[in-house]
Structure 1
Amino acid sequence: MAETLTISENLVAESRLPQVDFNNIPFGRVYTDHMFVADYVNGEWTDLRIVEYGNMSLSPANMALHYGQSIFEGMKAFKDEEGNVLMFRPEDNAKRLNRSAVRMCMPELPVDIFMSGLTRLLEIDRGWVPNLPGTALYIRPYMFAMDEYVGLKPSQNYRFMIFACPVGAYYSEPVSVKVEEEFTRAAAGGTGEAKAAGNYASSLYPAKLGQQQGYDQLIWTDGIEHKYIEEAGTMNLMFVIDNELYSPALSGTILPGITRASVLQVAEEWGVKVHVGRLAVETVINAHREGKLQEVFGVGTAVTVSSVSKIGYRGEDFELDMDNRALSQKIATYFEEIRYGRKADSHGWVIKL
């Protein structure tokens, strides 16, 4: 990291930490004492600062509110048995944020600013990183337009921020999913591979309809034929068919998940035959009918590894055997052990504060 970076600090006089019940943490509702902020003005990132977490003032004409220039990342920090704070592949999040920024016509953020702000924030608020089983500190870096202008063009000024919140499990039980064939999450040439706020906004209505039908999430399909599997609303998807692992290929319409890439790499190292390519819904359904579909699970920062219990497709439900999750459980255990520092990280993915 560049030694010339200066981060000003205006810290709270009294922490809210004693008020938190870590045995009962709602996901995404409780926030740490501080946040990191940097502003992009006159073509450069400036005024790096850590301040008290709280509301901020925005113009009613703020361009992010009107034209959607807003991107974000999702990360987690963990605490090992010695009380050290551990992060999983944070520089990959910084790089993915910049790929999203390029697609959304926003300035890239130097990785050293991202990492310095993140590291210092976690050093100050390290007491907020929970150490109970299944808990973590969820970290939200994001960037948005700051110009006051009602006109369709890229903003000239931006703000980058990081805040964090202690969390438990995103899904406490296996999830049910419905194959979506009417609505489209992303189309070729669009913003599907960027972690842009608008991608998630457009998914809410179809997801609501699916939930009204009794499903937790959707399996999004391609925007042309609705024949090929892409991803779920909060996670990339994996399928175990005949003891081989299948993952939809990144095609420009799928978020390139950091957990996804890590899982595929580890599975190959374990000798699992991995297929990355176009995966038709019918291939999965036929595998289920033939008794060859052994596991379906999602992977991502928020969910880590989440088993799928049921797939809804054209009015029929296809149940998965929750007693047959050997690979996904092995993967979940492996990543839990390295993220919490209980197992040596041979890949150099975990960074200790």
Structure 2
Amino acid sequence: MTPPTSDWRHTSRQRLIAGLTLDQLFTFLTLVRAGSFRAAAVELTLTQPAVSQRIRHLESLLGCTLLERRQGARSEMTPAGRELMSFAEDMLGRADRFHQRLEQLKYLPENSTLTVVSDSDHIKHLLVEAVIAMKETAPSTRVVIKHEPSRQACTQTLSEGHADLGICRYPAPSEFPSLGTIEERMYLYARPDDRIHALAESERIDHLARADFATFADGMRSRQLVERWAEKVDASLHIILESRGLEAMRTYVTRGLALAILPEFCVREDLRAGLLQVVPAPGLPLLRGAVILTPPDREVLPAARLFLSLLPAKVNSSSLSPIARGA
């Protein structure tokens, strides 16, 4: 079969651009998830023939069959249908994010300032990327970051009105409104050439007693998490570094000086560069988190909501939805 010419591809592409709509993608995705034309019609508040007509029109536009209809059985997606489903999920997800950001941008005053207080770990590994994204998304908003050494110092800065937003460790004082939490998963990491990777998972706990280990300073909540894990799995840790900062621990691991349990966000670049590798072990990952706070008795700034939506971390919160008109 002779492959289509470049002119055909251009014509087909133009026809696709002119005819394909987000509404069609939403209809198809709803049908796939609902499992039947009848269920999709109920969810879309359409008649079943109307849903069928939309899918036939979509197949005609694309020039291929998306679903294999089977009498009395669930329709199966064709390879083209699966490709379209992936495309639809991506495009509708992008549309949702675009709509959210657009709604947020409508309420940003020109030449405003957002002040965020946090600890050093969050500044280096979370806030810097959000500041860069904020410069691109809302260039008229100036973001000021204040570094405080502890959770108590962060909340003090908020209570004195010197910051609009705070990201700090648990627990949060009850008088501070919370916008949500940031979930941080902690894994055991080693260099790719470390011999622990060659061991069976059942042997790795015993190996820790002979390996050098870097961890958090005594008394820190993250250190307590690691100690509880070690006790639970009966691991003996040979600690050669205790640190209040993630950077020292990360450096020890990337240089092959020790193993460490670290939050995944702080080693993201090292994993991509092939400098570190996760070591699967019983009881991991550990979960720790940070709380997102605002000053008491003050309205949450639109810029704060936008900034949080740009954080490169999983934020558990319903407060980041688009701002209601007149709110």
Q: TM-score range by the shorter chain?
A: under 0.3
Of Structure 1 and Structure 2, the greater strand share is in 1
Q: TM-score scaled by structure 1?
A: 0.22
Higher-helix-fraction structure? 2
Name the structure, 1 or 2, with higher relative contact order (CA <8 Å, separation 6+): 2
Rg (Cα) greater in structure: 2
| TM-score after normalising by structure 2 | 0.24
